[in-house]
Amino acid sequence: MKAQFHLTLLTLFWFLPGFAISPVIWAQDPGLVKMHIPAPEFPPPASGAAAAVGLEGPGGGSMQDVSPAGPASRPAGGAGGSSSGGIPPQGSQSPPGEVPGGGVTWINSPALTIQGLRGKVVMIDVWDYTCINCIRTFPENKKLWDRYRNDGFVLIGVDDAEFSSAAPVERVREAVKRFELPYPVVVDDRFQIWSAYKNSFWPNIFLIDANGFIR
């Protein structure tokens, strides 16, 4: 998994300066899937949250949390997935205080949109803070964020809890603080982003080019 993670990041060679790595390595990774399809838009934030914006926020302000007005929720029956595959079950009614479809919660950032991030290279990292393989990617993620965030690169962590006990937003927020993750994180507690991107395992990475296409 670690080798695949690093080789997947080689796609940054095509978009950002400083990745002086031969693209010949691209062909050596049988698990790397090359795409060119429009990236699905993020779900709207939960009711009562701030309007979706670009990375800097309205008026260029600093990043902040965008939390739902109602309690965190999950699809009925819990995650039911595993790091080896299997998409968690979908659906269920929204609890009181949440928008239909559930909405999502943003941590370390105002609500972002794919449209608002046009012109930037976006790396979406699907993870769960209880997954050891996901945790092992955090140091590399932080290095990428620190090195390239001022060069048009945005890293977004998407938390899809494998177990219902890990789903509450406050627990995700505590994990973000504990692991010292400085980049935007979205709590996808209804697996809306997971489903839109047709994801099937943790951790997984989707790289979106400056034109809004998954590559």
Give the pLDDT score at 34.
77
**167 and 161 Cβ atoms separated by less than 8 Å:** yes
In a domain, 47, yes or no: yes
SS3 214: strand
In a domain, 70, yes or no: yes
- Residue 60 lies in domain: 36-92+100-214
In a domain, 116, yes or no: yes
In a domain, 14, yes or no: no
Question: Where do the H-state alpha helices sit in the chain?
Answer: 2-8, 132-135, 138-148, 169-178, 192-196
**133 and 5 Cβ atoms separated by less than 8 Å:** no
In a domain, 202, yes or no: yes
Q: Can you give the CATH number for the domain in which 115 is found?
A: 3.40.30.10
How many separate domains does the chain show?
1
Cβ partners under 8 Å of residue 59, min gap 6: none
* pLDDT tens, residue order, the chain (215 aa): 444 444 345 445 444 544 333 333 334 455 667 788 999 999 999 765 544 444 443 333 344 444 433 333 343 333 333 443 444 444 333 333 333 345 799 999 999 999 999 999 999 999 999 999 999 999 999 999 999 999 999 999 999 999 999 999 999 999 999 999 999 999 998 999 999 999 999 999 999 999 999 98
Rounded CA separation 50/48 (Å): 7
In a domain, 185, yes or no: yes
Which residue in the block uniquely carries the two structure tokens 């608002």?
116
Rounded CA separation 85/185 (Å): 22
In a domain, 20, yes or no: no
Total residue length of the chain: 215
pTM: predicted TM-score of the whole model, two decimal places: 0.69
In a domain, 6, yes or no: no
Nearest in space to 181 (alpha carbons), one of 117, 138, 122: 138
